[in-house]
Amino acid sequence: MNIAVTSPSFSRHPILQKKVLELSPKTKLNTTGIRLKNNDLFEYIKNYEALIVGLETFDKTLLSRLPKLKVIAKYGVGLDNIDLEYCKKNNIHVAWKGGVNRLSVAELTLGFFLSLTHNLYQTSNLLKDGKWIKSGGFLLSQKTIGIIGIGHVAKELVKLLKPFGCKILVNDIINQDGYYQSQNLIKSSKKDIFKQSDIVSLHTPLTKQTFHLINKDTFKLMKENSFIINTARGDLINLKDLETALFNKLILGAAIDVYDQEPPICDKLLSHPNLINTPHIAGNAKEAILAMGTQAIIGLKEYYNV
């Protein structure tokens, strides 16, 4: 079994290192800490038939240059960085399991909810600057929450929100009426979610339909004291429009863990005091990293039937 691991975080994890080297002792690990791209990525993987990949882009152009490639095991849950149609047509197996890190992402999302509503982030930063501002925000309890994309993470978030007694509006392209009824969720249009919600939380994959789902027109619909949260994919929000919305006070605040380019280069946006910005850590709780890596290895074992 000829394996190359492109993901730096997988490659540097001691338990995952041990597990994958037990599977294939000659496995190539990317321990540089650098996310490979373009020709550097090609040169790293060109002679391998099995890959464990993270967020690197595997488009048609790259995949067509890899005639030896048989299987890609995904370390993580999103597949928008892999050209699945090309893989299917060319018999490249993609080993993947959804929702492995769902609790990690859901917990961070709830943390964003509480940090924004109670001014934890803002007042902490003010106090570091010597400013004693006792602005405690408002309760999360009983507020209206809008969730767009009702997959694994969103369902965990619904569980976590139960003690707060929130009114939860939901929207998804898949019919899940039975689940909505069982959880007392309100099926809503995106427009109604934007207009009515105190907090809008995004949990959709990135597709042509969801690219820049949140934009200047969306912010015009939202309440001035509302928040937007994105722990899904960076391009779901037009970050230039988010910057405008925050600085023009169209919304009260936001929290983002993902960006259209990573690391981000939107310095003005990141400087806004009512924006919480984290470096794509939502799914990176220690337990989630181990679970995602283990699942990628299981995917290879199942493919090779070992």
Catalytic residue set: 233, 262, 280
Please give the Cα distance from 55 to 233 (Å, whole number): 11
Q: Are 200 and 228 in contact (CB under 8 A)?
A: yes
- State the DSSP H helix or E strand holding residue 255, giving kind and residue range, or none if neither: strand 253-256
Backbone angles phi, psi at 157, to 5 degrees: -65, -40
**DSSP 8-state assignment for residue 285:** -
Amino acid of residue 250: L
For the chain, what's the residue count? 306
CA 155 to chain CA mean position, Å: 15
Question: Strands 144-148 and 199-202, how do they pair?
Answer: parallel
CA dihedral 237, 238, 240, 244 (to 10 degrees): -70
Residue 303, sorted as left (phi over 0), alpha (psi -120 to 50) or beta, turns out to be alpha
Task: State the distance between the two ends of the chain, measured CA to CA, in whole angstroms.
Answer: 10
CA dihedral 19, 9, 256, 269 (to 10 degrees): 180
